[in-house]
Amino acid sequence: MADDDRWQDEPDDDYNPVDDDDAESLTVSCPSCGAEIYEDAVACPNCGTYVTADTSVWSGRSGWWILLGLLGIAAVILALTAM
């Protein structure tokens, strides 16, 4: 057996077919019933409520920030139309 063919016969100790991120799934509480569900679940298996991620720009903002943003947009529009 040639020396360059020997590396193919030896097992690779670093090879792991299961990714560490896939081995452990994170769970969160259902917003409706409070049951523990997988983070990437579409619906709660306990109560059937659909679980969606709140990706809105306005989520978590107080009313003052929203008002300030809208006033800023209006000021820019008025400035551009006055030109």
What is the tens place of the pLDDT at every residue in 19-54? 555 556 788 888 889 889 888 888 888 898 888 766
Question: Scanning the structure block, which residue is given the tokens 């792991």?
Answer: 16
60 or 65, greater pLDDT:
65
Model-level pTM?
A: 0.36
Sequence-ordered strand ranges (E) for 1-83: 27-29, 36-38
pLDDT band of residue 72 (cuts 50, 70, 90) is very high
d(CA 51, CA 40): 9
User: 32-71: b or e for each residue (b if 16 or more CB lie within 10 Å)?
Assistant: eeeeebeeeeeebeeeeeebeeeeeeeeeeeeeeeeeeee
| Confidence band of 74 (pLDDT split at 50, 70, 90) | very high
